[in-house]
Amino acid sequence: MRNLTALLAATSLAFLPLSQPGFATEPVAASDVAPPMQVLEAPPELEAPSGAEQDYTPNPAIWKLSDEDTTIYMFGTIHILPPGFEWRSDRFNQIVSEVDELVLETSDADSEGDMSKLVPQMAVMMLTRKPTSKRLTPSNGKKWLKLGRMVGMAPAEFDRMPLVLSMMGIGLSMSMMEGSQRELGVETILTAEFEEMGKPIGSIENSGDVMMALMNIDENGVLEMLETELTKWDGKSTETLMLEPAPEEADGPGDSETYAPFAMEHGWAKGEVGTDPMFDDSAFGMAMTKVLLEDRNRAWAEWLDNRLDTPGTMLLAVGAGHFEGEHSVLLMLEKRGLTAERIN
């Protein structure tokens, strides 16, 4: 099982839309991240960051759910990606050109409305919440604030933000420091393309409801896990925080874990679909499973079932993690008597 920091970093890339105030981090230094670009693909002159190089033809997983007059293509996404990272297949491009509509977790237009209702509640919560640094031991409280500075998050917001959200913000910031960009994420690219084609873009959920559920998760469990990880952390770099220490019985260099940037992105681009549980069976893990996976995927399966009543062809593009594990949207569909066929 990955440690807490690595887990929430992966979660933020594969489960949640980016346009959320809870993840509003200060931009990291320009020297650390390539500048934003308004393009549909990374221009060829930008090389992939170290670890993002590819020696394979991309073919991310695509599923099809259909009846006699409706076809729904389902595509798992990564929300931010590095320059030069290839993820499109010929089959996917054909689907984009054929479908009538794109549906995301929450479109940019819908997200603005959802968040406008949530922001005042979040502001009150942040004003009354005891800062995370004051809930940790003094030494780990200092490490926590140092971590926030390392990833470029505004200290006042970072320390008072609900803990799960601030840690997911850390995960996003780490990925941006490695070279990934929001402008190159799958949803951003597809939104621009469908807008250019004049095709509608819809939402499968209310992002404000998801964020509120995350903010209401009991923090005691995650605080204990964070305390343990910060105690082990040497405080030198974000990479060392992402690693599990080698077991005491390790007797050679091969037993130590090595941080592999973009490992999740490569697996996704190759079409791999994980089967292992994302979270453990701790109270915190079970709460995250319920909020991020079980509840949402069940609701999405119902939405998709109802959508089959409307003739036409659409593309559903949502975080890749929703198609993995025992609570996947695929299994939720099966419980409703529906089968989605993988077509690649």
Q: Is 209 exposed, middle or buried (0-12, 13-18, 19+ CB in 10 A)?
A: middle
User: In this structure, what DSSP letter does residue 65 have?
Assistant: E
Residue ranges of the domains in the chain? Answer: 4-23+55-116+163-211+260-327
Give yes or no for a contact between 99 and 190, defined as CB atoms under 8 angstroms apart: no
- pLDDT tens for the 344 residues of the chain, in order: 456 666 666 666 666 554 444 444 443 333 333 333 233 444 444 677 889 999 999 999 999 999 999 999 999 999 999 999 999 999 999 999 999 999 999 887 777 766 777 778 778 888 889 999 999 999 999 999 999 999 888 888 889 988 888 888 888 888 888 899 989 999 999 999 999 999 999 999 988 888 889 888 898 888 988 999 899 999 888 877 765 544 444 444 444 456 678 999 999 999 999 888 888 888 888 898 999 999 999 999 999 999 999 999 999 999 999 999 999 999 999 999 999 999 99
Strands (E) in the chain, as ranges, are 62-66, 70-77, 101-104, 201-203, 312-319, 341-342
Angle formed by the axes of helices 138-150 and 163-178, nearest 10°: 40
Please name the residue that has the structure tokens 């929300």: 79
